[in-house]
Amino acid sequence: MTTSGIMSKRRWRGWGGGQAVSSKMLKKTASFVLDTQHSKFRTRCKLGHHAMPKETIETLVSELIHEEDWRRMRATAACLSGGPRAVQALIHALQTGSPALKAEVAAMLARVNDPQAGVPLVGLLRDEDEVVRKAGASALEHMAGVLDETTAAALTSLLYESKDTDEGIRAAASQLLGVIPNAISPLCAMLTHQDPEAQIMAAEMLEHLLDPRSSDSLINAMGQPAVRDLAVRTLKKLSAIRERIDEVFDGLRSIEELSEREEARMSTVINLLAIGRPSVEILIEYLEDDDWVIREAAADLLGKIGDVRAVEPLMQRLRIDKDTGVKELAMKSLGLIGDARPAQLYIEAIPIRPLRVYAMEALAKVKDVEVLRPYKELFDRLRTDRDGLVAYNSGLIADKLEALDGTPVGSQGGQDENE
């Protein structure tokens, strides 16, 4: 009799009261034990932290610059998913951390994109460490679209306070005020400052921005000797911009032949694009026009200019406009801007045949890819879509998310939820 035959007839005493155990059962049992041990080993060792006590969010924030990868991964995931408590802990670290931690925290706050961080980040522009100052400026620029007037007011104060001290700080504050949509009101308020030098600084910034929202304040400032000439000059420029845009749009509106309107719309875009950001507020007004071709031209221009002020108005067009062409151009323009706020609208548009390609292209251009993670399964399914562009862009997004999974952020995010 063979060894296996002998084994198959043996009784394993102590197993189930002496029941016969076959070699097949022994192999299965051994395999199960080994697999279980291996699984436990992987669970302990994968990141090495599950057996450790749970740290506070403050401790985790301090580990954003830890030398061990898994600790940085865990800290990043905690900050991204920690809500208001995480934001407060990050803000506290801006005031108490080392230069390296401050720079890393600034980058993290830019990813979280919470406007509460605005004023504390402005404080970094005064930091002694150049790396920290640059990190603060970069974070503020990234968050320009969500920063409130309080942050803009802090920047205007910094602009004035640094007038005789640090040209670098003044230049950084000036540049940031130029990209924050909510900067106009604090700058207009600065026109009434008791110091004529502050008035001049505000007037110069407003002349540079050429925003129609400053018109009333500039008219009032015409009575102030220090800025009278600047105010008049700026108002003339604003008036000329308004007249030119109105004239071009009136010409487009006058074209009635459908076959000629599309070509005229493209000519309008080419004609007005050079005006750039000073035209944004006026173009936003034209998004409400009764004529679909005017709305299309305005939406097209806003996307090509790429100013974040246009995001919410374009999202509204995407929600309520009855003209498919306007919706298409609104979505394309939002894609060019790359803001994450319309992501849910893009997802909802995927089943709509005339919009699905534009929706996928816009999703692929979202700068903060992490906001698309909840839809990862959808993108994986769409990799095999019949439409080549849909499949291509779905694969592009899925690949970006998978690439993040190889970094501290993506890898940690998945571990914490599933293990």
For the record, the structure tokens of 203 come out as 């007037």
Average pLDDT over residues 349-368: 95
| % pLDDT > 70, the chain | 84
Residues 6 or more apart whose CB falls under 8 angstroms from that of 103 comprise 129, 131, 132, 134, 135
DSSP string, 228-296: HHHHHHHHHHHHHHHHHHHHHHHHHHT---HHHHHHHHHHHHHHHHTT-GGGHHHHHHHTT-SSHHHHH
Which pLDDT value is given to residue 16? 42
Average pLDDT over residues 345-359: 96
- What type of residue sits at position 18? G
Which pLDDT value is given to residue 405? 73
For the record, the structure tokens of 228 come out as 């009278």
| % pLDDT > 90, the chain | 76
Lowest mean pLDDT among 2-16, 64-78, 121-135, 317-331: 2-16
Residue range 34-57, pLDDT digits in tens: 454 444 434 444 444 443 447 899
Residue 110, judged by CB atoms within 10 A of its CB (0-12, 13-18, 19+), counts as buried
CA dist 375 → 36, 345, 362, 380 (Å): 32, 13, 14, 9
Which pLDDT value is given to residue 165? 79
* Total-model pTM: 0.77
Residue 151: pLDDT over 60: yes
pLDDT tier for residue 406 given thresholds of 50, 70 and 90: low
Average pLDDT over residues 319-337: 97
Alpha carbon 204 to chain centroid, angstroms: 30
Residue 80: pLDDT over 90: no
**By the 8 A CB rule, do 351 and 382 touch?**
no
From CA 384, how far away is CA 350, in angstroms rounded?
A: 15
Q: CATH number of the domain at 57-237, please?
A: 1.25.10
From CA 24, how far away is CA 410, in angstroms rounded?
A: 42
Residue range 378-399, pLDDT digits in tens: 999 999 999 999 999 999 999 9
* Residue 55 DSSP label: P
Average pLDDT over residues 193-210: 95
Which pLDDT value is given to residue 270? 97
pLDDT tier for residue 350 given thresholds of 50, 70 and 90: very high
From CA 358, how far away is CA 335, in angstroms rounded?
A: 8
- Write down the domain spans for the chain: 3-45, 57-237
Average pLDDT over residues 93-111: 95
From CA 386, how far away is CA 194, in angstroms rounded?
A: 66
